[in-house]
Amino acid sequence: MKELKRLLPAVLLLLLACASDEKQALNRAREALNNRDFSRTVAELAALRNSEEELPLEARYLLGRAYLGLKNLAEAQMHFKALLSEDTTYQDSVALAYKQRGLELGKVGERELALECFEEAMRISTAIDMSDAYVLMGELYSKYGELGRSVYYYRKALATLSDSTTRALTWERLILILERLGDPGDAFIATEEAMHEHHYYLEPRYCQNGYRYAQDLLYRGQMDSADLIITRVLEVPLSPMLRDDIYFLAGEIRLKNGDIEGARAAYREVLKLSLNASSALIQRARERLALLGEEVQ
């Protein structure tokens, strides 16, 4: 018993020394990580990894972040998985680490690694704000021609984004992709949604997409819908470069819909725009009015 009492202080001192070494190693690792010295972060924690003791949870977290910085996603995933199996309160922190690294990698062209980081972030937690990541995912998929996925992530971004400037840029990118996909209805509806958020600089695109959508509806024989769309387009201030075509199309739709007076009014507007309208379009408007029994000077 006396021998045990003599050994006890020595054991306590040894335990305190080990705890102090662990604390110092964690402090040095945190400092290295804050300085983005990822290799040094791993090195500072090497002694803890090589000991027979279980790695502290924070060490797992720091190692995971360090390996993310080194682009070693397999090693990062191993440490994060071990961490979360012991303590799920780290979920949001780990997801944020993946998201932040994905943003960094995506902005320097590391597409595949960035997307893998974002996928891990979404898998681990649904509580963190991913709106900026969704915008970048939309951009990365768009650059490689995966337009369907790009549309999906731009729409997810718009469901959560709050900043007006970022929303405007995201709407613009989404509308451009929808135009490339060739569905005038989707492009027009998206432009109209953006206009409802007061992004009025999109008015020319709104008119252009509305014209294309109304024209598509006209060709498919959906006259009431075509008339509705062209009427909505005519309610906004029209660019002089677009008015003649839009008014002529309005005349065509109304004529086929049996609205003779509405058609005449639209064709007359084309003639009023003679300075901007093409001579061919002016001639066609004159011919339509003549067929409707109206003399044109």
Residue 228 in this model has a pLDDT that exceeds 90: yes
Q: How far is CA 14 from CA 7, 11, 162, in A?
A: 11, 5, 54
Domain 182-297 is found in CATH 1.25.40.10? yes
φ/ψ of 278, rounded to 5, equals -70, 150
Cα–Cα distance measured from residue 146 to residue 168, given in angstroms and rounded to the nearest whole number = 22
Q: Which CATH number fits domain 32-126: 2.30.29, 1.10.8, 3.90.550, 1.25.40?
A: 1.25.40
- Average pLDDT (48-69) is 83
pLDDT tens, 159-180? Answer: 999 999 999 999 999 999 999 9
Cα–Cα distance measured from residue 62 to residue 54, given in angstroms and rounded to the nearest whole number = 15
- In the predicted model, what is the mean pLDDT of the chain? 88
pTM for this model (two decimals): 0.83
Task: Place 281 in a pLDDT band, splitting at 50, 70 and 90.
Answer: confident
Q: What pLDDT is attached to residue 200?
A: 86
pLDDT tens, 98-115? Answer: 999 999 999 999 999 999
Cα–Cα distance measured from residue 256 to residue 292, given in angstroms and rounded to the nearest whole number = 12
Task: Place 203 in a pLDDT band, splitting at 50, 70 and 90.
Answer: confident
Q: What pLDDT is attached to residue 13?
A: 40
- Average pLDDT (7-18) is 44
The total number of residues written for the chain in this structure: 297
Task: Place 201 in a pLDDT band, splitting at 50, 70 and 90.
Answer: confident
More confident residue, 238 or 62: 62
Question: Are 32-126 and 182-297 the same fold in CATH?
Answer: yes
CA proximity to 120, closest of 169, 63, 156, 68: 68
Residue 129 in this model has a pLDDT that exceeds 60: yes
Domain positions in the chain are 32-126, 129-181, 182-297
